[in-house]
Amino acid sequence: MLKYLSSFKSIVVIGLICLIPVVFSYGLSLKTLHASAWQMIQIKGETSFHLIQTMRLWNAGHGGVYALVTVQTPVNPYLNVPEREIETPSGKTLTVVNPAYMTRQLGERLKDTQVEIHLTSLKPLNPNNQPDSWEREALSSFEQGEQKRMILSNGVYRYMQPLKVEPACMECHQSQGYQVGDIRGGLSISFPSDDINELLAGLRAEIIWAHQIAYVLLLLIALLVQVLIHKLATKLQYAKSRQDELNTLASTDELTQLANRRHLLASFFERYQTVETQNLPFSVLMIDIDYFKMVNDRYGHQMGDQVLKRFANELMKNLRDHDLSGRYGGEEFMVALNANIALASTVAERIRQAAEEISFYAEEAFTISVSIGIAERRFNQPKGPEDLIRMSDEALYQAKARGRNRFCVATQNGSVIIND
């Protein structure tokens, strides 16, 4: 159950992590889409504006055009120019249609379509050209240098650009005090947002669909990567555990679980260099189980193995964690500790007593004893680590020669101090 919950939690975390770039991309895409929509509005507005402005300039360039006076095209009462109306030889009345009048009529024609145009000014000649609040604000901004203005209001996009006074405009607007280049008004173009919103909705749906697919693919890839990483980590962990096992086998005596001779000596030489550099006390204890061959011959090798294992266990109980110990060979053990002769002797006696207290039973109950030889670096002045081992081994030989179950300390002149 815990493994299932852990896996579920891992999937949730990966899902949330994968969601971050997708959400970021989605937000960025919507922002880009929104900007593109306004760019489309601007292009649409600019195109319409330039088309109408081109027609207006054409009209102004001809000084206005005459059109037949009809109900739809009455005489413009706000236009004060010479020959505003003329009569043809056939008796028909024509009136001047200037750019403003033409634009207003074009706006009337467009009312039935989805596009509306409105010619306006802060000082209009025709009251019908009065600006609304948004147009008034836009016109004020044009006089401050703004070039265009757009807005979405009540489902309608509105676009507006300023109209500047051209030389051809002076005939109609000179009386208002305008100069060529002045802002005399603006052209407002409105069109519904339905078509653009429909286009945006379709694009937005595609973006959502694309990001959903991207999220699923990203999540699948992330989960696949996690599985591969987990498998790799498991293999690495297994390889490490196997390597640790091999290292342990290579450095540990299989029977006693103490360091084997090779690993023991390698650690001893390394420790010796350290204490020699720092001039610290350093003692070696060589320990031999007394009459071990007799135990093997009398009680068998299995009991001999039990003796070795139980003594090794008692040996470890009487040492500190940082003391070196190991099986030197056969029934012989070696201990190296940062201690002077006095402390090493105390440890040796403790080990000797602990060995005596171990009870064994085969065909009969029996106990064991150990002999110990001690040598110390600063006391014995050895030539090197091998020499220190040799001195402790000679002291062990003397302890066995003098009755066993005791320890002897090597001296500087080659003799020993015997503990009875």
SS3 for 116-182, per residue? EEEEECCCCCCHHHCCCHHHHHHHHHHHCCCCCEEEEECCEEEEEEEEECCHHHHHHHHHHCCCCCC
pLDDT(335) > 60: yes
Among 322, 410, 310, 413, CA closest to 367: 310
SS3 75: coil
Among 51, 52, 81, CA closest to 66: 81
Residue pLDDT, tens place only, 155-202: 888 888 888 876 655 555 555 556 666 777 888 888 887 878 888 888
| Confidence class for position 107, pLDDT limits 50, 70, 90 | confident
Q: Using an 8 Å Cβ cutoff, are 58 and 51 in contact? A: no
Among 384, 275, 419, 395, CA closest to 334: 395
Among 285, 402, 268, CA closest to 350: 285
Q: For residue 231, what are the CA distances in angstroms to 225, 226, 235? A: 10, 8, 6
For Cα atoms 349, 352, 357, give the angle at the middle one, nearest 5 degrees: 125
Token pair, residue 257, equals: 């679980």
Q: Report the amino acid identity of residue 210.
A: A
| Confidence class for position 418, pLDDT limits 50, 70, 90 | low
* The pLDDT value given to residue 2: 44
| Dihedrals phi, psi of 120, to nearest 5 degrees | -145, 165
Catalytic residue among 87, 143, 276, 331: 331
152 versus 107: which is more confidently predicted? 152
Pair type for strands 183-192 and 116-120 = antiparallel
Mean pLDDT of 240-251: 78
Q: Using an 8 Å Cβ cutoff, are 207 and 26 in contact? A: yes
| Confidence class for position 331, pLDDT limits 50, 70, 90 | very high
Residue pLDDT, tens place only, 68-96: 888 888 888 877 778 888 888 888 888 88
Q: Which of 180-184, 226-230, 384-388 has the lowest mean pLDDT?
A: 180-184
Structural domains in the chain, sorted by start? 16-198 (no CATH), 261-419 (3.30.70.270)
Helix orientation angle between 301-317 and 292-299, rounded to the nearest 10 degrees: 140
Does the annotation mark 331 as catalytic?
yes
Q: For residue 164, what are the CA distances in angstroms to 56, 131, 142, 215? A: 12, 17, 10, 53
pLDDT(1) > 70: no
| Confidence class for position 407, pLDDT limits 50, 70, 90 | very high
C-alpha torsion 72→78→80→83, nearest 10 = 10
Percent residues over pLDDT 70 in the chain: 93
